[in-house]
Structure 1
Amino acid sequence: MSKFKKIETGVKDLVVIEPTVFGDNRGFFMETYSKKDFEEIGLTMDFVQDNHSKSKKGVFRGLHFQAKMSQGKLVRVTAGAVLDVAVDLRRDSETFGKWYVVKLSAENKRQFYIPEGFAHGFITLEDNTEFLYKCTNYYAPEYDSGIIWNDTDLNIDYEFEKYGLSTDEVLLSEKDQKLQTFKEFVESGVVIK
């Protein structure tokens, strides 16, 4: 029996991962990654960089991608909670332009694998949320790009009311406020590599 359960999302190659958690009155233990066990469920990526961020409630980071040196990401939350979103930007994919949103939290311990060729972002649902992710490629600022979080063509449903948020409360970096639309990305002809 695998230590990890892979849940399909309906978007090609994008999966939610549930680890096996061993808990008792002392707390819990879980493996968050094992190359061997991931390979058993069909995930064969190699990671080269780990990142960690901490944010207050309402911070939106994304929707980011690298036009070259594309990064696959295995993401999880160790404190607080996020709504995590990925958008398929692979032009030859049957799910091009499709997105998926999942709640990741310290409580549910779920992970989300976003392959290369996707835009990725998240909004924090609680103060002091800590977000960790493993990457399959190094950060390359010269290829850094993204799509605006509230793009009207993508029309991503973040279910803000369900989580007590409003669009007025979303906190964005200066860089993320200026990201392109999905239509601009499509028209640019950029192929993510």
Structure 2
Amino acid sequence: MDAMSDLRGKLHQSWGWLLALGLVLMLFGGLILTTPLGVVTATLTTEIWIAAALVVGGVLQLAHGLKAKDWNGRIWQMLGGIVFIFGGVLAFVYPQLGLESLTLIVAATLVIQGVTSLLVSGGIPEWTGRKWLILSAVLSIVAGLLVLFDLPSSAGWTLGTIVGAVLLLQGVSLTLLGLEVRRTSASA
């Protein structure tokens, strides 16, 4: 049995969590990008959407990691979920710290999540959609670093735009992974 078949077998038991996580991230990414003025100025509404997206996405990511017991990448998946939850909770609990603080929290969360996604993709052998997972991880890291290096001026327009785009792309990559695992495991 090759490494990809073994991985598909391990992930098949949790493909639904991957699919749900991908769909939720795409939904939140789309909502953030289409919130009126959310792309131009990071309003409180956009901050709440971002915090909610981080918490819900983190919970689903953590649940997937817990469900995929035999998968060696599950620790990185769970760590990424914990980081998302932590960043989202901070954004909810401390909105009075201002837009710059929230931007810093979200930027750091994006960088750490991108690193953990890269580590997860390293545990996935050749898969047709792996490039999307790697692309979303790299985009997440780059987006987080761009926001960090451009503070405080990045606190306005970039928060909604970058976070929405990153969540949308991560959602697409995880949805593709979930569907691929389901499809190939069902045919095996």
Q: TM-score, normalised by structure 2?
A: 0.25
TM (norm. structure 1) is 0.25
**Which structure is higher in helix share?**
2
| Structure number with higher relative contact order (C-alpha < 8 Å, ≥ 6 residues apart) | 2
